[in-house]
Amino acid sequence: MSDALGSAQHDLADRVVAAMRQSESPSYPRAFEVWYAHLSGEMPAVSMALNAILAGSNGKVTAADIDNLYERFISTERFAKQAERTSLQVMGEIDAMMALVDKALGSSEIYHGRLTAMSEDVPHPTDRQKLREWVEALVMSTREEVTRKAQLEAELRNSAHEIRNLREALESTRAEALTDPLTGLANRRHFEEMLQKAIDEATLRREPFAVVMADIDFFKRFNDAHGHLTGDQVLRLVARTMKDKFKEKAIISRFGGEEFAIILPEADVIAAKFGAETVRQALLTRELIKRSTNENLGRITISLGVASYRRGDTSGSLVDRADQALMQAKRDGRNRTVTEDATETASRVA
C-alpha cells in the first residue's frame, strides 16, 4: 500500500516538473508548491486561476504569476489553518482554566460548609477532649483547603502561561500572514487592510494621506537574463531602500511580483512625490553585485506613480489613480515619478 502511494507521489512530482518546463515557469520552491496544488487537485481555486493564466498567455507562466497565486491561495490557506489550530488550543486552555475555577469554587463551598457546621457545634470549653478533637478537625480541614488552593494556584499559573504563549503564537501567525516572506514587507492583504483604515480615518479627521505605486523597470528582462535568485536579490534591494528612505509611519508593501505599494500618512502629493524621488534617486547610487560570481549587474531603476486621498475616494479609486500615474511614468520613459496631476494634465492635452 505504502509502495503504491510512494509511486503515485513520485509520478505526480514528475508531472509537476514536466508542466513547469512546458510553461517556462520559474523553478523555485513556491512555484513547485503552486503547480503541485494544481496538479494534485487538492486546491480547485488554484487550478482555475492557473488555467486562466495559461489560456491568456499562450501557456506561459511568469514569476509574477507564481507569486500572485502563492500569496492569494497557498500562503493564505496555510496561515489560516495554523491560526485555526492555535485558536482551538487557546480555547482548550481557557476551557481547562474555567474547569479549574469551577473546581476551586466547589471546594471552597465544601470548606465553608464544613466551617459553618463546625461553628455551630463548638464543644463546651470544659470538655477538653472534644475541644481538642474539634480543633484538630478544624486544623486538618484548613490544611487540606490550603493544599488544594496551592495546587489550584500552580495549575492556574501554568494555564495562564500556556495561554500567553499561544496568544503570542497567534499574533506571530497573523503577522506572518500579513508579511511578504521574500522582502519582509507587508503583503497585499495587509496593504488593503491598512488602506481602508487610512481612508476611514481621513474621512473622519479630514487628514491628508497619499499612495505611491512603484514598479521595477524591465524586471522580467532582468529575471530572464540573470535568473530568479538574482531577481529575488533585486526585490530585496528595492525593499531595503524603501524602508531606509520612507518615513517610519509609511506602510510599505509588496503589491505583487515586482510592484510595490506605499501608504504615506499625513502626506499630500508634493510630500509624497518628494519621498518617492528620494527612493528612486537612492537606487541610482546602488550597484547590484551578483553574489555567486561577484559580477556587477549595474543599477536598478524604478517608476513611481503618486495619488493623494480625495473625499469620497474608495480604495479602488485611489489605487487606480496612483496606478495610472505609474503607467504614465512608464510611457514617459521609465525611471521617474509622476503624480496624478500630471496624468490628468496629459489627458486634457490629449
Residue type, 105: L
Nearest to 324, CA basis, from 304, 296, 298, 309:
304
Nearest to 72, CA basis, from 53, 38, 32, 45:
45
Q: Output the DSSP codes for 240-304.
A: HHHHHHS-TT-EEEEEETTEEEEEEET--HHHHHHHHHHHHHHHHT-EEEETTTTEEEEE--EEE
Give the residue numbers annotated as catalytic, written as ranges: 258
Phi and psi, residue 143, nearest 5°: -60, -45
Q: Which residues of 35-72 are buried (b: 16+ CB within 10 A; e: fewer)?
A: bbbbbeeebeebbebbeebbeeeeeebbbbbbbbbbbb
Cell of 214: 512603484
Q: Which residue is listed with cell 481612508?
A: 199
| 214 neighbors 304 (Cβ within 8 angstroms) | yes
* 141/189 Cα distance (integer angstroms): 59
| 156 neighbors 100 (Cβ within 8 angstroms) | yes
* 278/266 Cα distance (integer angstroms): 17
Cα separation values, 52 from 31, 39, 56, 256, Å: 16, 15, 6, 18
* For helices 29-40 and 2-22, angle between their N-to-C axes, nearest 10 degrees: 120
* 102/133 Cα distance (integer angstroms): 31
Q: What 3-state class would DSSP assign to 86?
A: helix
Nearest to 203, CA basis, from 92, 63, 311, 98:
311
Chain-centroid distance of CA 71 in Å reads: 10
